Amino acid sequence: MTIYYTEEHEWISVEGTTGTVGITDHAQEQLGDITFVELPDAGSTVKKGDSVSVVDSVKAASDVYTPVSGEVTEVNPKLEDEPELVNSSAETDGWLFKIALSDASELESFMDEAAYKEFVESL
């Protein structure tokens, strides 16, 4: 399993041709207490960079962009009743959706964990 990070503070964990997408720990810290997560519809086809989700917090609402193109295969059902999972475990149990990748080469432009940490420190 390989994890990639975007400059928009999303992460994608890839296993085979399936990616699991969420926001980074840094992003959830910036948002504060998360109160609601609007998820994409399972079965929808999305293109890299599309706004597919919204995370609402006490501070702001923030769009989440899909890092890759493909079909949304699953959404995290726990977030409907427990949106705060994104705060407590943004990069594990607080994942947002799973996607069947249509073009794995789209992953090549993303950062690994070390590069992402360096990127965040430079902000």
Global confidence as pTM: 0.95
In angstroms, rounded to a whole number, what is the distance separating the alpha carbons of residues 18 and 100?
5
In angstroms, rounded to a whole number, what is the distance separating the alpha carbons of residues 91 and 119?
17
- 59-84: burial string, b at 16+ Cβ within 10 Å, e else: eeebebbbbbbbebeebbeebeebbb
In angstroms, rounded to a whole number, what is the distance separating the alpha carbons of residues 14 and 101?
9
pLDDT at 1: 79
Contact 11/1 with Cβ under 8 angstroms?
A: no
Contact 100/71 with Cβ under 8 angstroms?
A: yes
Q: Collapsing DSSP states into helix, strand and coil, what is residue 51?
A: strand
CATH of domain 2-104: 2.40.50.100
Contact 55/31 with Cβ under 8 angstroms?
A: yes
For residue 86, the surrounding DSSP H or E stretch is: helix 85-88
Q: List the pLDDT tens digit at each of the 123 positions of the chain.
A: 799 999 999 999 999 999 999 999 999 999 999 999 999 999 999 999 999 999 999 999 999 999 999 999 999 999 999 999 999 999 999 999 999 999 999 999 999 999 999 999 999
